[in-house]
A and B are shown apart, each in its own frame.
Chain A
Amino acid sequence: MSKVEFNKETGPREVFCGLTSIVWLHRRMPDAFFLVVGSRTCAHLIQSAAGVMIFAEPRFGTAILEEKDLAGLADAHEELDRVVNDLIARRPEIKTLFLVGSCPSEVIKLDLATVAEKLNKRFLGQVRFVNYSGSGIETTFTQGEDGALKALIPLMKTSNEEKLLLVGTLANNVEDRFKKIFRNLGISNIESFPPRQSTDLPKIGKNTKVLLTQPYLSDTVRDLKHRGCEIISAPFPLGVEGSTKWFLAAARAFKISELKVHEIISPLINRANLALESHKEILKGKRLFLLPESQLEISLARFLHNECEMDLIEVGTPYLNKDLMKAEINLLPDNTKIVEGQHVEKQLDRVRETNPDLVVCGMGLANPLEAEGISTKWSIEMVFSPIHGIDQAADLAGLFSKPLKRNQILTSKTLVTH
């Protein structure tokens, strides 16, 4: 393991809670509905994080707790029943309904598991109910996906068929690319979790080899292990290096020769490196500060340093699972400063002291930092954009070079006055 510097920090945080992941999860599974059991704050959060209100009836909503629901839990269960009935009557096309716990529902100890169990009996064969918590007292941002996936595992049937299981939400086009490459490598049985249809859950068992596409799935990984799945240890498929090592690790697990992998992906690597050049020119030598939010920070830091030659000032992460991140951490340069957790004020003090060229941060902080003359990249874009894989490496670099390029355009005088 390279000698990185681990730090922990506690204090006021500026991160999203796990509910936010509904914004991409509901798009991944168009036959599922996410019902948050929470407060007006929860509803407002998802609405604000989603940014636009473009859907007539989105496939997510909030059962807002009111004063009378707090008075007696029995009544709250009954009320939730009523809301679910109404919802299913209105949206008969829904196949899976996620009951999503929130801070208030956790604090009043609303037992969503029991509610889900009862509803499963009543709507047997029509709608399946699962529950998980996206509450801010337990989860940050991407951990919401971890909770949602973990909740689906008990519904997955057992099969000892050998297969490669890609775990973590991917953009559909990226998923298709990956599957094609794996097929070319000779792995034919490939499935994804979460699937594109919530009812289309993969079967798992002791010959299932799990390859993670996202670094924030600690609980899901643990439960998949319990079901006998083998977890392939690899860096995450961000950038050329990460993706190459990721393919290689999968190939090793399926006893496919390294040579074969290189044969298939070399042309991809060559064209990706070519495409990276123009971004590298902008990013090279620029100093980067990553604030914690998506748990993608360590992989991004590795990519931006190793492939784009950026200097790392600080790599924040809301949560660090050293086991899961081992392969990534090994690829970081020595003395990388990793900070788990946050004291947002102290961290911003460090940002100002070190005066980075680029800060990766949440939307609440971006414009204030820009106003101080510091270029930023909002981290939420990483979870909405197709950034995985060799073919997307240049696009990923582009997310970071763009703000710097724009800054350069706006501050330079290029046209003479005639």
Chain B
Amino acid sequence: MELTLWTYEGPPHVGAMRIASSMKDIHYVLHAPQGDTYADLLFTMIERRGQRPPVTYTTFQARDLGGDTAELVKKNIKEAVERFKPKTLLVGESCTAELIQDQPGALAKGMGFDMPIVNLELPAYSKKENWGASETFYQLTRTLLKEKVSSSQKISPLRWKELGRRPKVNILGPSLLGFRCRDDVIEIQRILSEQGIDTNVVAPLGASPDDIERLIDAEINICLYKEIAEASCEWLKRNFGMEYTNTIPIGIKNTIEFINEVHKKLDLPLTNAEELENKSKLPWYSKSVDSNYLTGKRVFIFGDGTHAIAAAKIAKEELGFEVVGLGTYSREMARHVRATAKDLNVEALITNDYLEVEDAMKKAAPELVLGTQMERHSAKRLGIPCSVISTPMHVQDVPARYSPQMGWEGANVIFDDWVHPLMMGLEEHLIDMFKHDFEFVDGHQSHLGHTATKSKDFIDSVEKKDKNNNAGIIWTESGRAELTKVPFFVRGKVKTNTEKYAILRGIPEISDETLYDAKAYFS
């Protein structure tokens, strides 16, 4: 049993709903009690979708449990098929139905339909949303393509040459409730098309079962989000020999590396290598003198695997930040995140518990947080600027304007989104500095205003609380006064370091001089 207050991921059947809702001509019959329909609002409210998710809930009740819930399942399947006439039917169960073991998938298969039926077994008590989405996409791909496995030859990435046409690729992974997927797809298709590469199928977003059957018309697969598409890409590789890309094109370096990887796989000469650096404004904006103040900014990163890893690379190599924390809630991606964290000399934080993330954030004393909506709230409480880089989705993460994370435009968006809150952070710092001037009045603050004041209260309260915990170390008046002069966003760090120094040297009282001694010692 795990105590959860807020969660990063929903249950696995919500992942299956993401796949079904992303696609056309699919219907999902979900054996579930009433109440589970709440998941519809994720799509209709957060994504502002004008269509209901293509899901029929069997809506069993307590009184049905004594009787024949299997009949109820069959009735709902029959009605759903007649009404929606799907080309492929997904059948599965939510957490409660899993316990009563009606095996709706098997029931559906026995009903004599001639459309393909995908039986989804998504263990609700051990797996989560992204896994459910990945498994559903994989089972769907497998069901629709397995008959073609034996008859097909292995697909060579060079096949386009023999066929005398432009190379074709599939873009796999984008789905509803995925972070900025809608715009990433447009950006990546634009980039590929500029390089003379055609998109065969984008899936699951916007694809039909017919499109899934056409996947093997492409030479290679672009695995855009590993959380969703890696299992399917791997299956297509094993069974059809289709190679897939490993680089996620978020950030300039990764986008260039991605283009190189695609060209290399297809054996397509890259003719515009020099141009690529100038396709986005990020490199120049980052180089321009105004960005000098970005150097060494301490940044704390937490999100899904794909976006957290990409963010770490951009932060370090493209914006010159210092990554002081990196983590993910996605256990499936833990290995990749750990490897990146090791390269950055930080310890990876793999957890579901947002309070643990908040604690780590506090300890790392960052100047910028790149996280999910949960970290946005934690950062707000701590008075630290934050930009959201990953799911779980919030209505604000589905902006009206074109704002991809991937490719050239994605890099522009990232530069703006990460640097603007920081500017405001800098403004905040100035307010903090000038707040004792007589011109300063309350309310004369930016949007982070009152939270920053709170952050001071917060640190003060921490000081009080911690008093007994630091081997009896006392802050003198002068030490305390000096500490308040330190910019708010590093105050916590300075305090901890000074205390650490005092303990190290056996200094019982921290004065203003101790603060400077400690500063010299640690720099």
| Interface residues in chain A, defined as those with a beta carbon under 8 Å from any beta carbon in chain B | 11-20, 38-41, 43-45, 47-49, 53-54, 56-58, 60-67, 69-70, 76, 79-80, 82-83, 86-87, 103-104, 106-108, 135-138, 140, 345, 362-368, 370-372
Known: A41-B95, A104-B99. A62 touches B4 (CB 8 A): yes
Set B3, B13, B61: member contacting A137, Cβ < 8 A: B61
A to B CB contacts below 8 Å, 20 in the list? A13-B37, A13-B59, A39-B95, A40-B11, A41-B36, A41-B94, A44-B14, A47-B7, A53-B373, A56-B377, A64-B1, A69-B1, A79-B1, A80-B1, A104-B95, A135-B33, A136-B34, A364-B37, A368-B50, A372-B50
| Interface residues in chain B, defined as those with a beta carbon under 8 Å from any beta carbon in chain A | 1-7, 9-11, 13-14, 33-42, 44-45, 48-52, 56-62, 64-65, 76, 79, 83, 94-96, 99-100, 123-126, 128, 355, 358, 373-374, 377-378, 381
Which residue on chain B has the smallest CB distance to residue A11?
A: B59
Are B34 and A44 in contact (CB-based, < 8 A)? Answer: no
A65 to B57, CA, bound (A): 22
A368 to B54, CA, bound (A): 12
Set B14, B37, B128, B374: member contacting A14, Cβ < 8 A: B37
Q: Give every chain B residue within 8 A of A104 (Cβ-Cβ).
A: 95-96, 99
Are A44 and B60 in contact (CB-based, < 8 A)? Answer: no
Q: Give every chain A residue within 8 A of B64 (Cβ-Cβ).
A: 137
**A-B CB pair tally, cutoff 8 Å:** 188
Q: Give every chain B residue within 8 A of A12 (Cβ-Cβ).
A: 56-59, 76
Are A64 and B34 in contact (CB-based, < 8 A)? Answer: no
Top-6 shortest CB links A-B: A17-B35, A371-B50, A136-B35, A364-B40, A103-B96, A39-B95
Set A13, A66, A136, A138: member contacting B126, Cβ < 8 A: A66
Q: Give every chain B residue within 8 A of A57 (Cβ-Cβ).
A: 5, 355
Residue among A17, A41, A49 having the largest count of chain B Cβ atoms under 10 Å:
A41
Known: A44-B11, A53-B6, A137-B33. A364 touches B44 (CB 8 A): yes
Set A13, A53, A106, A364: member contacting B52, Cβ < 8 A: A364
Are B62 and A365 in contact (CB-based, < 8 A)? Answer: no
Known: A39-B11, A66-B126, A67-B125. A58 touches B5 (CB 8 A): yes
Q: Give every chain B residue within 8 A of A15 (Cβ-Cβ).
A: 34-35, 37
Which residue on chain B has the smallest CB distance to residue A48?
A: B38
Q: Give every chain B residue within 8 A of A38 (Cβ-Cβ).
A: 95
Q: Give every chain A residue within 8 A of B57 (Cβ-Cβ).
A: 12-14
Are A103 and B35 in contact (CB-based, < 8 A)? Answer: yes
Set B52, B58, B125: member contacting A368, Cβ < 8 A: B52
A67 to B95, CA, bound (A): 11
Which residue on chain A has the smallest CB distance to residue B127?
A: A40
Are B65 and A137 in contact (CB-based, < 8 A)? Answer: yes
A372 to B176, CA, bound (A): 21
Set B7, B125, B373: member contacting A70, Cβ < 8 A: B125
A54 to B451, CA, bound (A): 13
Q: Give every chain B residue within 8 A of A60 (Cβ-Cβ).
A: 5
Which residue on chain A has the smallest CB distance to residue B38?
A: A45
A286 to B65, CA, bound (A): 42
Q: Give every chain A residue within 8 A of B76 (Cβ-Cβ).
A: 12
Q: How far is the CB of B150 from chain A (nearest CB, A)?
A: 36
Residue among A16, A53, A76, A363 having the largest count of chain B Cβ atoms under 10 Å:
A53
Are B52 and A40 in contact (CB-based, < 8 A)? Answer: no
Are A366 and B4 in contact (CB-based, < 8 A)? Answer: no
Are A41 and B62 in contact (CB-based, < 8 A)? Answer: no
Are B126 and A61 in contact (CB-based, < 8 A)? Answer: no
Q: Give every chain B residue within 8 A of A39 (Cβ-Cβ).
A: 11, 95-96, 124-125
Q: Give every chain A residue within 8 A of B60 (Cβ-Cβ).
A: 137
Which residue on chain B has the smallest CB distance to residue A70?
A: B125
A140 to B56, CA, bound (A): 18
A135 to B355, CA, bound (A): 27
Set A40, A80, A365: member contacting B10, Cβ < 8 A: A40
Known: A57-B5, A65-B125. A364 touches B38 (CB 8 A): yes
Which residue on chain A has the smallest CB distance to residue B13?
A: A41
Are A58 and B6 in contact (CB-based, < 8 A)? Answer: yes
Other contacts beyond A15-B35, A17-B34: 17, CB < 8 A = A16-B37, A39-B125, A41-B14, A45-B36, A47-B7, A63-B3, A65-B125, A67-B126, A69-B1, A83-B3, A86-B3, A103-B33, A363-B40, A366-B44, A366-B45, A367-B44, A367-B50
Q: Give every chain B residue within 8 A of A44 (Cβ-Cβ).
A: 7, 10-11, 14, 38-39
Are B33 and A136 in contact (CB-based, < 8 A)? Answer: yes
Q: How far is the CB of A88 from chain B (nearest CB, A)?
A: 11
Q: How far is the CB of B103 from chain A (nearest CB, A)?
A: 16
Are A103 and B95 in contact (CB-based, < 8 A)? Answer: yes
Which residue on chain A has the smallest CB distance to residue B35?
A: A17
A367 to B52, CA, bound (A): 8
A87 to B4, CA, bound (A): 11
Q: Give every chain A residue within 8 A of B13 (Cβ-Cβ).
A: 41
Which residue on chain B has the smallest CB distance to residue A75?
A: B1
Are A65 and B52 in contact (CB-based, < 8 A)? Answer: no
Are A64 and B61 in contact (CB-based, < 8 A)? Answer: no
Residue among B44, B60, B96 having the largest count of chain A Cβ atoms under 10 Å:
B96
Are A41 and B124 in contact (CB-based, < 8 A)? Answer: yes
Known: A363-B41, A366-B44. A65 touches B1 (CB 8 A): yes
Q: How far is the CB of A399 from chain B (nearest CB, A)?
A: 17
Q: Give every chain B residue within 8 A of A19 (Cβ-Cβ).
A: 35
Set B7, B40, B100: member contacting A43, Cβ < 8 A: B7
Which residue on chain B has the smallest CB distance to residue A371?
A: B50
Which residue on chain A has the smallest CB distance to residue B358?
A: A56
Q: How far is the CB of B95 from chain A (nearest CB, A)?
A: 4
Q: Give every chain B residue within 8 A of A64 (Cβ-Cβ).
A: 1-4
Q: How far is the CB of B332 from chain A (nearest CB, A)?
A: 15
Are B34 and A13 in contact (CB-based, < 8 A)? Answer: yes
Q: How far is the CB of A351 from chain B (nearest CB, A)?
A: 12
Set A58, A345, A368: member contacting B49, Cβ < 8 A: A368
Residue among A345, A366, A372 having the largest count of chain B Cβ atoms under 10 Å:
A345
Which residue on chain B has the smallest CB distance to residue A348?
A: B52
A19 to B52, CA, bound (A): 23
Are A70 and B35 in contact (CB-based, < 8 A)? Answer: no
Q: How far is the CB of B74 from chain A (nearest CB, A)?
A: 14
Q: Give every chain A residue within 8 A of B62 (Cβ-Cβ).
A: 106, 135, 137-138
Are B34 and A43 in contact (CB-based, < 8 A)? Answer: no
Known: A13-B59, A53-B374, A370-B50. A61 touches B44 (CB 8 A): no
Q: Give every chain A residue within 8 A of B61 (Cβ-Cβ).
A: 137-138
Are A371 and B7 in contact (CB-based, < 8 A)? Answer: no
Q: Give every chain B residue within 8 A of A69 (Cβ-Cβ).
A: 1, 125
Are A365 and B52 in contact (CB-based, < 8 A)? Answer: yes
Are A40 and B65 in contact (CB-based, < 8 A)? Answer: no
A67 to B124, CA, bound (A): 9
